[in-house]
Chains A and B, each alone.
Chain A
Amino acid sequence: SQTIHQWPATLVQPVGSPLSLECTVEGTSNPNLYWYRQAAGRGLQLLFYSVGIGQISSEVPQNLSASRPQDRQFILSSKKLLLSDSGFYLCAWSWASGANVLTFGAGSRLTVL
């Protein structure tokens, strides 16, 4: 079976510091990978998605970037955090084709002070 891991679970960072959130998927190959942000416990905003190693699509221009150095690894980064980067970040994966369900990780809560 497939599992998705996300870490760290919580993070408190000062403004201007760097960020790295990591997500890995086990039990599958060539998944589509996604990063979403949820602000204030409400709607999900699609940030990035990837259909293969090194292939990143950015949905919202902002202070964040994503990378996919390995098939089942997806990293969300920032060089300098802003207060507005605070939120709940969710990684998800799906099979590459068809009407497949998105499966989410447990999430990473980021607080920027």
Chain B
Amino acid sequence: AQSVAQPEDQVNVAEGNPLTVKCTYSVSGNPYLFWYVQYPNRGLQFLLKYITGDNLVKGSYGFEAEFNKSQTSFHLKKPSALVSDSALYFCAVRDSGSGTYKYIFGTGTRLKVLA
């Protein structure tokens, strides 16, 4: 069965500092991995995804994520945080095997960027 763990309920970081939001996953086959962001009372917005290839994936708004197969992790990073990055971030996984269509999400990590 697929699962995603986001071990931190909240991450606080000062504006201008680098940020990392952690995600680990479990899937029987090869993973498709995603990061989404949610602002209050809104749907989720796609940030980036990993399918295959380069382990460092670049996405929207200056975010990037690093895929680590041995550690089954897909941490979200940004070199310099902005106050406007404050939001709820979700990691998701989908098994790449044929006939599997479920996207499983983590519990979310609230990012708070302090001015």
A and B co-occur in one complex = yes
Which residues A74-104 have CB closer than 8 A to chain B?
A: 88, 90, 92, 94, 99, 101-104
Residues from chain A with Cβ under 8 Å of B51 in the complex = 99
Most buried by A among B32, B34, B43, B105: B43
A-B contact count (CB 8 A): 59
> CA–CA, A44 to B102, complex, Å?
12
Residues from chain B with Cβ under 8 Å of A103 in the complex = 46
| Chain A interface SS verdict (over half) | strand
Q: Interface range on chain A: under 10, 10 to 19, 20 to 34, or 35 or more?
A: 20 to 34
Residues from chain A with Cβ under 8 Å of B94 in the complex = 99
Contact (Cβ within 8 A) A43 B105 = yes
Chain B residue at minimal CB-CB distance from A9: B41
Which residues B42-67 have CB closer than 8 A to chain A?
A: 42-46, 49, 51
Contact (Cβ within 8 A) B101 A49 = yes
